[in-house]
Amino acid sequence: MRKSSVELTEAEWRVIKAVWEREPCTAPRVQEALARETGWSYSTVRTIMDRMAAKGLLVSEKAGKNTTFRSAVTRAQAQRSELLYALRNAFNDALTPMLQCLLESKDISAGELAEVEALIKAKKRQAK
C-alpha cells in the first residue's frame, strides 16, 4: 500500500530507516540494529513494526513462525511528507522563511550551495 501522505513519529523514523537498510528483514534484526542507540527490547520494536504495518507504512509477510517486513513507503515519500508538514505547519506555507531558516541553521558547503542554485535555476526555466 502506497501512502500519499506519510506521517512518522520519531520512533517510526528510526525503525523505517533500519528497515530501508535491511529489507526484507525481521523484527529481531531491526531490534539488533537499533539496540545500541535506543535500548529498545524486541517486544518494543515488534510492537512499533506491527503498528507501522497496520498504518500501511510497512508490509509484513508471515512464513511459518517468522514474519518479514518491507517498507511500503519510499525514503523520498517520507522525506517529502515530513518537509511539506513542516512547511505547512511551522511556516504557514511560506517557502522563503523556511529556506532562510535552513540556510542559517547549518553550515553549507560551496558544493551544496551550487546544487541549490542549480535547482533554483532549473525551476525558473520550467516556470517560463
| Cα distance between residue 124 and residue 126, in whole Å | 5
pLDDT by position in tens, the chain (length 128):
444 678 899 999 999 999 999 999 999 999 999 999 999 999 999 999 999 999 999 999 998 999 999 999 999 999 999 999 999 999 999 999 999 998 898 888 999 999 999 999 999 999 87
- pTM of the complete model: 0.83
User: From the centroid of its chain, how far is CA 94?
Assistant: 22
DSSP-assigned letter for residue 107: -
Q: Provide the residue ranges of all domains of the chain, joining segments of one domain with +.
A: 1-90, 96-128
> Taking a C-beta distance cutoff of 8 angstroms, is the pair 60, 68 a contact?
yes
| Cα distance between residue 75 and residue 34, in whole Å | 18
Please give the class, per CATH, of domain 1-90.
mainly alpha
| Cα distance between residue 77 and residue 73, in whole Å | 6
> Taking a C-beta distance cutoff of 8 angstroms, is the pair 71, 3 a contact?
no
